[in-house]
Amino acid sequence: MSRRKMLLTGGALGAFGAFGMPTPAFSREVSPWTWSPSGSIAGDGTGADPRQVFDAEADPVSAQLLDSGAVPEVNRLLWDWIRNDQPLPAGLPGYLHDFIEKARQLPSWADRAKLERAATFNKSRGLYLNLLNGVGGGMLSTAIPKEAWAVYYSKGGADMEDRVAKTSLLGFAVGALNAYRPDGDCIVNAVKTRLVHAAVRHLLPQSPHWKWGPPISQEDMLVTWHTLPTYAMRKMREWKVPISAADSQAYLHVWQVTAHLLGIRDEYIPATWAAANAQSDQVLPPNMGPTREGVELTDILLGQLAEQTSPGSISRPLVNALARYLVGDQVADWDGIKREPVWGPLIATAWPALVRFREGVIPLPLVPEVAWVIDEAARQYILFYLTKGRETKIEIPTVNRPE
């Protein structure tokens, strides 16, 4: 997607609202919350509707930082806080220091052996996971109205390359071999993201464009969570990727721990894949649909992906076809992804064959190591492209999307 096309698209969508035509409304029938906390990692809970629950620990911390004007200095101090085992820098407000020290602790139910096994699983399945969590999860997220609105009207919506780069920091950290080891950075990026979510909850209601109530509830975070591990596991099963029961449980576990660190309450975190699938079926479909903002964000995201892969006229049709293949026609139509009569059928035929070939060679000696090197190189290239080679860290925002 050329810059000209992006500007024209953005201009057209902007004019759509400027001439008095309303943004397409999204509404759903609100049904009672029926998912039982007995299926959670906690095993029990209050049963409170997660649509009315937020983050009682992080929210007042971010609000106080913003209201006191302390965020720029805090971002400066936390810039070089990057390792899981690294002490916090001196000079942080006491209430923030205390929050982070508590928030960075792994839950008592975290299983180191499963976390290590998940890292090994990511080593051989990185290609699928990066594709599903990146492209697939990205396209699902823009078809979730509340998420699309929150991204679009917050600060990150004005600079999607920076927004995607910072989101990728957490996504890649979860899939890293040392994700939860002392020298990894998954805990750091998760805690910083939790503070960002709390800041957005404080800032967005102040935007004149925001009219959807408090953002990023526990349900909203669960909906996003299911566009990542639950969706990815379902797709890999659909592609007949052989996954052992131990690997499957380990992959679920690394995302359970990540959910906890992001501030999702244990009573909402599914304990098993059966519980996760049941919860996903309850919360994901009702929260999906088309929006103007989602279509615009999709166009920008796919344009970025096309530029990353191979700049030129062929890349965008290929990316369109790949995205449609990953999420299906309904979500692709909601996202405004163009149908590609040549590339669409080709990808639908070629991808299953590629999976069969790849799974046939994965058991061979050194193949997982080689696959990991290639996947890691691709991750680093994507981050380098998005950041333009600049060092990028997750930072607490101080404003909404500029007017």
Cα radius of gyration (the chain)? 21
Q: Which has the closest alpha carbon to 299: 2, 3, 6, 4?
A: 6
Identify the DSSP state of 285: G
191 in a structural domain:
yes
Between vectors from CA 287 to CA 271 and to CA 55, what angle results, nearest 5°?
60
Model-level pTM?
0.87
Domain that holds residue 284: 56-387
**Residue range 240-292, pLDDT digits in tens:** 999 999 999 999 999 999 999 999 999 999 999 999 999 999 999 999 999 99
**Residue range 131-183, pLDDT digits in tens:** 898 889 999 999 999 999 999 999 988 887 777 777 778 888 898 889 999 99
24 in a structural domain:
no
The residues near 370 (Cβ < 8 Å, ≥ 6 apart) are: none
330 in a structural domain:
yes
Work out how many domains the chain is built from and give that number. 1
Report the pLDDT averaged over residues 20-43: 72
* The residue count for the chain: 403
316 in a structural domain:
yes
130 in a structural domain:
yes
**Residue range 85-144, pLDDT digits in tens:** 999 999 999 999 999 999 999 999 999 999 999 998 988 888 899 889 888 999 999 999
25 in a structural domain:
no
229 in a structural domain:
yes
Query: Phi, psi at residue 40, to the nearest 5°?
Result: -95, 170
The encoded tokens of residue 155 equal 């600060």
Please report the DSSP string for 155-220 in residue order: GGGG-HHHHHHHHHHHHHHHTSTTTTSTT--HHHHHHHHHHHHHHHHHHGGGSTT--SSS-S-HHH
**Residue range 69-86, pLDDT digits in tens:** 999 999 999 999 999 999
108 in a structural domain:
yes
